[in-house]
Amino acid sequence: MAPSLTSSSALPDLEARLPQQRKLVTEVPGPRSRELQQRRAAVVAGGVGSSMPVYAADADGGIINDVDGNSFIDLGSGIAVTNVGASSPAVAAAVSEQATHFTHTCFMVTPYEGYIQVAEELARLTPGDHEKRTVLFNSGAEAVENAVKVARLATGRQGVVVFDHAYHGRTNLTMGLTAKTMPYKSNFGPFAPEIYRVPMSYPYREENPQITGEQAARRAISQIEKQLGAESTAAILIEPIQGEGGFIVPAEGFLPTLAAWARENGVVFIADEVQSGFCRTGAWFASDHEGVVPDLITMAKGIAGGMPLSAVTGRADLLDAVHPGGLGGTYGGNPVACAAAIATLDVMRELDLAGRARAIEGVVVPRLRALAEELGGSEGPIGDIRGRGAMLAVELVKPGTTEPDPEATKAIAAACLAEGVLILTCGTYGNIIRLLPPLVIGEQLLDDALTVLENAIRAAR
């Protein structure tokens, strides 16, 4: 665990356009938000949920302003997307400059340099120094679907192995790859065949708490060998740190053991880093923490400062195995999104956002640990604190048990919102508070948000 860091040096305040201060001037939601909510109900599909009842007007740094003039501290980054902030000047300038020239030609019709620049960047930044190729799409789900297409074609095999608690998207194939039925899959079937689910390494909820990462990997591998056999397995698809499933960090050794087995058996190891990528965990990618080199890596969310862009990067022999025309899409690698990505990656380097993510961990984790102790340690409501960098989670349980407490979790998120802090929940059991602040957040703002969160957790007992 990082030692507690002294203020100002760890997370210096960056220049911001909006005041970096929490401020409530109306009830929450305010009258303008309530009015929009009514208009929305009349025209927007009911199946689209929003975790917050407030409507955004402006956002910058660690702050989201709503249409009623309230300023909220953002601990969600639009689900790990706005790592560089929601209106980074460099990203805004790149978007505007590119839009002045052309917004679209279609890379499959008239190609352009930005796509190549993004591919060059990803070849450098992703784990491993082997020869790589990249193909760009729009959403995380599309990247995952295409990684599976590539793995199947290149291996001539069909089976895809996924894990308990996995989340890979909402299209038909990726729903099938996702573990949790409500709300993602329920009544949306039938799902695609040749998907096999095996046990994850979930240290907090292991029956045998002594089980090592390597043993947990062997448990999964033995299931693969029993259910379909290596010779029928095209790919192992895994989030190196699971996102929607509960910010589950597998025990050390789990990922390297799976990757080694995949390599020995001609199975494509795909790391889904859609949520964990781009400095979020204190490194460019979560795979970096254990030196895992995936065959293919899927990326989206943080890649382009909020513009829709996704990518599959990986071994040249796999991606070049596909026949010309086999991969693509009208908007894939849109030039405006590519310009945003290039600016975003520059900002990440310039501001050392990986370092800031580690500093955020250094600020948040000691405070959460102290709170857990104050509330009764292992007999209290905080069952587990985990994560890496600025991808951190609190698992809430009924005190004295390991039974999930989704009601308390909901109440805590609602209490934070009422005080001006936007907080997301997740987890198979709905009992995880997840912290995903923009990596440009300043320390004072983060401290203020943590005080609100701590009080909400105390009050929810």
Ligand X SMILES: *Cc1c(COP(=O)(O)O)cnc(C)c1O
Residues that bind ligand X (CB under 6 A): 139-141, 144, 167-169, 239, 243-244, 272, 274-275, 300
Taking CB positions, which residue lies at the least distance from ligand X? 140
3-state helix, strand, coil in the chain (%, to 5): 40, 15, 45
Whole-number minimum distance, CB 274 to ligand X, in Å? 4
What distance in Å separates the CA atoms of residue 286 and residue 289, rounded to the nearest whole number?
6
What distance in Å separates the CA atoms of residue 125 and residue 128, rounded to the nearest whole number?
9
Whole-number minimum distance, CB 437 to ligand X, in Å? 17
Residue nearer to ligand X on the CB measure, 203 or 243: 243
Whole-number minimum distance, CB 18 to ligand X, in Å? 26
Residue nearer to ligand X on the CB measure, 221 or 300: 300
Whole-number minimum distance, CB 328 to ligand X, in Å? 17
What distance in Å separates the CA atoms of residue 144 and residue 147, rounded to the nearest whole number?
5
User: Which secondary-structure segment (H or E) carries 160?
Assistant: strand 159-163
Residue nearer to ligand X on the CB measure, 175 or 293: 175
Whole-number minimum distance, CB 169 to ligand X, in Å? 4
54: left (phi over 0), alpha (psi -120 to 50) or beta: beta
Residue nearer to ligand X on the CB measure, 150 or 415: 150
Cβ burial 401-427 (10 Å sphere, 16+ → b, else e): eeebbeebbebbbebbbebbbbbbbbb
219 class by beta-carbon count within 10 Å (0-12 exposed, 13-18 middle, 19+ buried): middle
Whole-number minimum distance, CB 345 to ligand X, in Å? 18
Residue nearer to ligand X on the CB measure, 112 or 167: 167
Residue nearer to ligand X on the CB measure, 299 or 342: 299
DSSP-H helix ranges across 58-212: 77-80, 89-101, 113-125, 140-155, 172-177
Residue 91, φ and ψ in degrees, nearest 5: -70, -45
Residue nearer to ligand X on the CB measure, 271 or 421: 271
Whole-number minimum distance, CB 287 to ligand X, in Å? 13
What distance in Å separates the CA atoms of residue 311 and residue 333, rounded to the nearest whole number?
8
Any idea which residue has 């923009």 for tokens?
438
